[in-house]
Structure 1
């Protein structure tokens, strides 16, 4: 049970997954660049004292901690491929979350204020060094849907404010679209790369390419990002890997 007298160190010992949430929400802790000093502080700092640092009532903090814990414990449900809105809707603003923790006293409030300014039909992009599910969960009540993907050493979290009835419209669009399939399995390097890049030149905005390969095509990812494509890779049903590549109607770069 999480109580006001519990020390932060004990909380993190039981739930280490809350460390990213805690650092994001308490800038004073984030500014302790030395992990050793941060651990020393957490040994004597209670949740009651932490609430004072955050200008919250203790009950509010306990509720927020439990909500964050529930969010981090939920199973990951990242789609196998980007949603339709990501392919067709523009980025309204990009926020580098890690940079905010060193520049402002309350980065969470800045993110929430920025989210309120996002018009319906547009996307807010958060770039983090940690799993952004707690942040995206906090924005659900503002009418956002989210999609996250790990991108090298960071997470890209796309938050989209939907238009009324848009979910059904995108669903019908996806049913009608027929992707192009190219099977590169069994081919020697560099033929899989050459064939895939050649096939991409034929894609119209909003169209999709499915590229089958023997190995995960990590060498292809930087080229896709440079060209503005949205992609994801998963294991094929029989063998090898399948990379889903979408050409957006509006570039997300």
Structure 2
């Protein structure tokens, strides 16, 4: 199997379960991968680059450990990936613009019991006031989360307090709060358009269909966004979802798409997404 810094840990394990032991042997940080509960929640989101950042390791360390199991770098050169840029926390020092008011969210128990805290975090962010920061109390640095919340205008600050205690602050500056208001306005303006029956009639026979109801977060949003470039001219994407994906809508607006929603029943939402 060819791999790169962007390869998901779940793909490695699916290809060869011995990848768990190989990665765990890099350093003690990766022993958490042996925990089936944490592995279920994190493996599908974390790339090799993410894991390297979390464990303070080098991407090349992963290739060196995985090569004996039949994994090969895409460019066939371990040395060529040593300079791969790894997603990182934005600052090691406390930022001057970090709000003093903090809303705490301890997700350690959720992770320990196998509950995915992603929705809890997103809901907490949605309720933050302009002068507040969200403090996530966790056992590791949530690197995969940074790129997701950055698209919503959030900065991050990570403070490692021990081997199994990490404080992650997510917050917006005043400027980024203003961006959120502008983003919401754009999203609302894009939403105004065809009713669901009108859109269904307009694109009859020209629909591509995806079902994200059984996918774990954030895979529904990722699946939908990855499907949009595959649309042919005058086609629409028909999405089966469990809820109206509020965090997806600004992303659609940015890409020039409009949408129509049909909340058919509890936990049953249908969306039609099309070029505005």
Q: So what's the TM-score if we normalise by structure 1?
A: 0.41
Q: So what's the TM-score if we normalise by structure 2?
A: 0.38
**Which has the higher relative contact order, 1 or 2, with Cα contacts under 8 A spaced 6 or more apart?**
1
